[in-house]
């Protein structure tokens, strides 16, 4: 690595850490109902929405009512998305005259964007009309991110309240997340993208003559508006099939830096929001530190793997699948950021990464994407691991475990385990089906350990609502469109519903006064326990597959074998 590479990585981390408390404090004010500067512009829109939809902002919901609201909102969103995709051939803003998507692909895509996965079994410039991009994909980028933030805020309320049966109002939380957080940030980021050359239009595709005299069709579209929210909302779905490796989506090193910042900005800031709303800032700082430790480790190992020479293959550096205008360091930094954040956008091809770097990207997702994680979903997933760690620590010292002064009992732990185990089971079971069913196995393009990594990666990506993919895997088949849609639904709602149940159980509890025997969740000891719990759960669950996939491939490539 050069000194310039170190500076770029350090600059990214410093800016992210500097922005986190500022945005985190602002979001705490938004969700606590305080008046902010943005209320001057968006306050009237918020009140109009409540009036039109007959929502009373001061009416709170029980956990079951909150869950039903999440479900209703998601079902309507999926139905609307499928309808637009199926009818897009007869709808306006379709200068390329794209026809309807097939039923499996339409359902898969609608579910993908509603669950904040943004898995794409298609190239957007080849099948999606501008209306579909604007009214379904871009809108759901806002909506799915807002749902994740709303569930997190409800969870925080449940953890901190006592002797109460309600955890907030879903419609209010979603509205505030959209109007006061996602929309203003997206406007700023869209303008920044425009200054860097990201396109924004509804023009027909342009045919140009190349320097060699050939003809080439350049796709157009409203790209900047979608790029902004796809990154800020940890959605990741690209307007083009090449995603953020496409020069119309990500043309310059500065646009690359801004998009990488957008990926982790809200997830990192929400940890600070949690500290402010819950009144446990030192505990939140500890969580932030654990996430940074994971992030540094992932970046470090990936950089070492990508920069290490492979003499048997006569490679000094692994440049395959990278954009030269970004370089190795920025490709690795993006790869780690997008897989820890449930984002899924790419500026290089992950299938072309060295085996260990690709294995790190895979492991980031297999942890449940709680290393910062998705907007909202990452932090409530991390808090599930916190509850598990507190419970295990209590067993080790022989005390009833407590969190926020409330006892963690068997009924809470059952729901914690459901939320943690459901995505793991789907990932492993789905990968087994892909290998055992001949028609499904035909979609795997690579042989040997790389093929296993490719399969496990794609199931982990869909189940953990990431959306990135190993290139070469043919996902646009009826089997995978339906199967991955089910995986995405389980990965999203088998976590959300337990989180809301746990929030309700905690909200009803009484708090007890901390004593000298109370196990602290703010210090170095708990940080190590939490780090170890996340690592062990991920390693022990997936250890055989990780060894047979990226680890074996790493060893074989240094013996001259490629797959």
- Cβ atoms of 386 and 283 within 8 Å: the answer is no
Residue 321 has pLDDT above 90, yes or no: no
In the prediction, which pLDDT does 312 show? 76
Q: Give the rounded percent of residues in the chain with a pLDDT score beyond 90.
A: 81
In the prediction, which pLDDT does 2 show? 78
- Cβ atoms of 274 and 379 within 8 Å: the answer is yes
What is the three-class DSSP state of 250? coil
Phi, psi of 321 (to 5 degrees): 75, 10
Residue 399 has pLDDT above 80, yes or no: no
In the prediction, which pLDDT does 37 show? 86
In the prediction, which pLDDT does 522 show? 87
Q: What is the mean pLDDT of residues 68-92?
A: 96
Give every CB contact of residue 163 below 8 A, 6+ residues apart in sequence.
508, 509, 510
Query: Token digits for 366?
Result: 């297999």
Phi, psi of 187 (to 5 degrees): -60, -45
Chain centroid to CA 556? 32
**218-227, 286-295, 503-512, 514-523: the lowest-pLDDT one:** 514-523
In the prediction, which pLDDT does 433 show? 95
**181-195, 276-290, 342-356, 531-545: the lowest-pLDDT one:** 531-545
Residue 521 has pLDDT above 90, yes or no: no
**36-45, 137-146, 237-246, 408-417: the lowest-pLDDT one:** 36-45
Chain centroid to CA 536? 22
Q: What is the mean pLDDT of residues 44-56?
A: 92
Measured CA to CA, the distance from residue 47 to residue 56 in angstroms comes to 10
Instruction: Provide the pLDDT confidence category of residue 74 given band limits of 50, 70 and 90.
Output: very high
Residue 513 has pLDDT above 80, yes or no: no
- Complete DSSP assignment for 153-220: HHHHHHHH--S-S----HHHHHHHIIIIIIHHHHHHHHHHHHHTT--B--PPPEEEE-TTS-EEEEP-
What would the pLDDT profile of 430-449 be if each residue is shown by its tens digit? 999 999 999 999 999 888 89
Give a three-class secondary structure readout of 319-357: CCCCCCCCHHHHHHHHHHHHHHCCCCCCCCCHHHCCHHH
**Strand stretches in 423-555, DSSP E:** none
Mean pLDDT rounded to a whole number for the chain: 93
Residue 148 has pLDDT above 80, yes or no: yes
Domain range list for the chain: 22-272, 282-291+363-557
Confidence (pTM): 0.94
In the prediction, which pLDDT does 562 show? 81
Chain centroid to CA 267? 9
Measured CA to CA, the distance from residue 34 to residue 36 in angstroms comes to 6
Query: Token digits for 364?
Result: 């980031």
Burial class (CB in 10 A: 0-12, 13-18, 19+), 37: exposed
**30-39, 341-350, 516-525: the lowest-pLDDT one:** 516-525
Measure the CA angle with vertex 199, ends 193 and 205; round to 5°.
Answer: 165
- Cβ atoms of 98 and 129 within 8 Å: the answer is yes
Measured CA to CA, the distance from residue 502 to residue 554 in angstroms comes to 41
Measure the CA angle with vertex 541, ends 535 and 545; round to 5°.
Answer: 110
Q: What is the mean pLDDT of residues 289-306?
A: 95
Instruction: Provide the pLDDT confidence category of residue 540 given band limits of 50, 70 and 90.
Output: confident
Measure the CA angle with vertex 413, ends 508 and 363; round to 5°.
Answer: 125
Q: Give the rounded percent of residues in the chain with a pLDDT score beyond 70.
A: 99
Measured CA to CA, the distance from residue 219 to residue 203 in angstroms comes to 9
Measured CA to CA, the distance from residue 209 to residue 423 in angstroms comes to 49
In the prediction, which pLDDT does 516 show? 63
**171-180, 196-205, 469-478: the lowest-pLDDT one:** 469-478
In the prediction, which pLDDT does 538 show? 74
């Amino acid at each position: 690595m050069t000194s310039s590479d170190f500076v770029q990585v350090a600059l990214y981390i410093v800016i992210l850490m500097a922005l986190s408390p500022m945005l985190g404090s602002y979001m705490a004010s938004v969700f606590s109902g305080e008046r902010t500067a943005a209320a001057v512009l968006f306050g009237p829109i918020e009140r109009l929405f409540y009036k039109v939809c007959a929502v009373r902002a001061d009416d709170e919901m029980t956990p079951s009512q909150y869950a039903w609201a999440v479900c209703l909102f998601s079902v309507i969103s999926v139905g609307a998305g499928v309808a637009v995709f199926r009818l897009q051939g007869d709808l306006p803003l379709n200068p390329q005259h794209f026809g309807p998507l097939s039923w499996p692909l339409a359902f898969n895509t609608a579910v993908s964007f509603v669950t904040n996965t943004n898995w794409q079994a298609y190239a957007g410039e080849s099948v999606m009309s501008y209306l579909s991009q604007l009214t379904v994909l871009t809108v759901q980028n806002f909506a799915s991110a807002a749902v994740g933030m709303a569930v997190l805020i409800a969870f925080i309320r449940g953890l901190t309240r006592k002797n109460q049966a309600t955890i907030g109002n879903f419609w209010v939380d979603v509205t505030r997340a959209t109007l006061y957080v996602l929309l203003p940030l997206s406007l700023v980021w869209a303008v920044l993208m425009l200054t860097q050359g990201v396109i924004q239009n509804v023009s027909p595709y342009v045919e140009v003559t190349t320097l060699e005299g050939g003809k080439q069709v350049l796709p157009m579209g409203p790209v900047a508006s979608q790029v902004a929210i796809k990154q800020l909302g940890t959605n990741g779905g690209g307007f083009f099939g090449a995603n953020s490796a496409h020069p119309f989506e990500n043309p310059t090193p500065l646009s690359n830096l801004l998009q990488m910042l957008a990926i982790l900005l809200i997830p990192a800031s929400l940890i600070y929001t949690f500290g402010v709303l819950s009144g446990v800032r030192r505990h939140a700082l500890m969580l932030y530190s654990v996430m940074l430790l994971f992030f540094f480790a992932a970046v470090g190992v990936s950089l070492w793997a990508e920069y290490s020479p492979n003499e048997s293959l006569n490679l000094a550096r692994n440049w395959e699948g990278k954009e030269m205008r970004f370089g190795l360091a920025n490709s690795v930094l993006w790869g780690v950021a997008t897989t820890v954040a449930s984002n899924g956008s790419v500026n290089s091809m992950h299938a072309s990464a060295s085996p260990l770097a690709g294995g790190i990207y895979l492991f980031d997702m297999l942890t449940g994407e709680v290393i910062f994680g998705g907007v909202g979903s990452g932090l409530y997933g991390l808090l599930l691991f916190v509850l598990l760690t507190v419970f295990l620590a209590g067993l080790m010292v022989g005390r009833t475990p407590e969190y926020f002064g409330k006892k963690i009992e068997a009924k809470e732990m059952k729901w914690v385990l459901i939320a943690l185990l459901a995505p793991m089971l789907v990932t492993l079971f789905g990968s087994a089906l892909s290998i055992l069913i001949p028609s499904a196995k035909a979609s795997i393009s690579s042989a040997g350990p790389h093929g296993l990594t490719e399969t496990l990666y794609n199931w982990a990506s869909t189940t953990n609502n990431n959306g990135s993919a190993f290139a070469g895997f043919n996902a646009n088949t009826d089997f995978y469109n339906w199967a991955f849609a089910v995986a995405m639904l389980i990965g999203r709602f088998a976590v959300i519903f337990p989180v809301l149940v746990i929030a309700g159980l905690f909200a009803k509890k009484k708090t007890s006064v901390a004593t000298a025997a109370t196990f602290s969740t703010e210090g170095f000891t708990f940080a190590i326990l939490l780090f170890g719990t996340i690592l062990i759960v991920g390693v022990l669950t997936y250890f055989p597959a990780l060894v047979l996939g990226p680890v074996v491939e790493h060893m074989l490539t240094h013996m001259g074998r490629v797959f």
